[in-house]
Copies of this chain bind each other. A is one copy, B any other.
Amino acid sequence: METIKTHRTFGGELRYVRHDSSACRVPMEFTIFLPEAALRGEKRPVLYFLSGLTCTAENFTVKAGAYRYAAEHGLVIVAPDTSPRGDGVANDERYFVGQGAGFYVNATEAPWSAHFRMEDYVVRELPSLVEAEFPVTSARGITGHSMGGHGALVLALRHPGTYRSVSAFSPIASASNCPWGRAALGAYLGDDVEAHRAYDAAVLVEKAEERLPILVDQGTADEFLADQLKPELLREACARAGHPLELRMREGYDHSYFFVSTFIGEHVAHHAQALVS
């Protein structure tokens, strides 16, 4: 593990880290914010933030304005990349498949299966590394934006007991029912619709083993709302299953980080309530 650079911010420290990933079999980068208490050696809980299509950790790190709130609540925030990257890694000319578009699955199809194992990376490898190398507890929350909102919901639902809290901004709510998701899941998992449904938040919520309350914020002026995000499918599935969901439609907000930054404080507080004992 190598620290690429460090910035003091909000009384804590932001670090850019690179490490050799065993799950993705390439070097991976993430950012980690350590609040003041963690810098003093006090173990603090961790909130994972998963980013959306075309992003690296950088978009969230510089645009979301999350660290003020993390500092207030004493939360560590870890933001991984959205896929493996590099010359030896498969790619696609479409922005919603390949590098920058891992969709947080373990790919089973060639050529993707060689490196695209973002589920293993986010759920297992990254927390193990973070919990071994930084002053953190094993209390974990997960959130994300767009494809990363899909990732947060799907990984929390597929791995009960792993996260104590979950939320999402403008998530792809039903990946097997939208063009982005069908293209990406088709590439990574093949044509079997059941394999796609295993990574679909609106499907998973109906058979969830635990009823972790879900918080979702969604802008009504989001350009991807009707065709790609479809929060109504999550709302209907949660209603059918009796799964606790707070879906807040935010009038006039779009898909950008100007939306995320407006509500990130409420999400950090939601996670802090579950994670900070």
Residues of A near any B CB (own CB < 8 A): 7-11, 14, 62-63, 65, 67-68, 219, 221, 252-254, 256-259, 261-262, 265
**Which residues on B sit within 8 Å (CB–CB) of A253?**
8-9
Q: Which of B10, B62, B221, B257 contacts A8 (CB 8 A)?
A: B221
Interface of A is mostly: mixed
B261 adjacent to A7 (CB under 8 Å)? no
Question: Complex formed: what's the CA distance from A11 to B253 in Å?
Answer: 9
Among A62, A261, A265: residue with most chain B CB under 10 A: A62
A261 adjacent to B221 (CB under 8 Å)? no
Question: Complex formed: what's the CA distance from A261 to B65 in Å?
Answer: 8
Number of copies: 2
Q: Which of B10, B258, B265 contacts A9 (CB 8 A)?
A: B258
Question: Complex formed: what's the CA distance from A8 to B261 in Å?
Answer: 11
10 residue pairs of the A-B complex, CB under 8 angstroms, read A7-B258, A7-B259, A8-B259, A9-B253, A9-B259, A9-B261, A62-B62, A63-B63, A65-B65, A68-B261
**Which residues on B sit within 8 Å (CB–CB) of A257?**
62
Which residue of the partner chain B has the closest CB to A219? Answer: B8
**Which residues on B sit within 8 Å (CB–CB) of A259?**
7-9
**Which residues on B sit within 8 Å (CB–CB) of A68?**
65, 261-262, 265
Closest 10 pairs between A and B when the two form their complex, measured CB to CB: A9-B258, A65-B65, A7-B258, A8-B252, A8-B253, A62-B63, A10-B262, A9-B262, A7-B256, A7-B254
Question: Complex formed: what's the CA distance from A62 to B65 in Å?
Answer: 9
Which residue of the partner chain B has the closest CB to A263? Answer: B10
**Which residues on B sit within 8 Å (CB–CB) of A7?**
254, 256, 258-259
**Which residues on B sit within 8 Å (CB–CB) of A219?**
8
* Shortest distance from the beta carbon of A175 to any chain B beta carbon, whole Å: 26
Question: Complex formed: what's the CA distance from A11 to B258 in Å?
Answer: 11
B14 adjacent to A258 (CB under 8 Å)? yes
Which residue of the partner chain B has the closest CB to A12? Answer: B262
B65 adjacent to A8 (CB under 8 Å)? no
Question: Complex formed: what's the CA distance from A257 to B65 in Å?
Answer: 11
* Shortest distance from the beta carbon of A77 to any chain B beta carbon, whole Å: 13
Question: Complex formed: what's the CA distance from A216 to B253 in Å?
Answer: 34
**Which residues on B sit within 8 Å (CB–CB) of A8?**
219, 221, 252-254, 258-259, 262
**Which residues on B sit within 8 Å (CB–CB) of A258?**
7-9, 14, 67
Question: Complex formed: what's the CA distance from A133 to B138 in Å?
Answer: 53
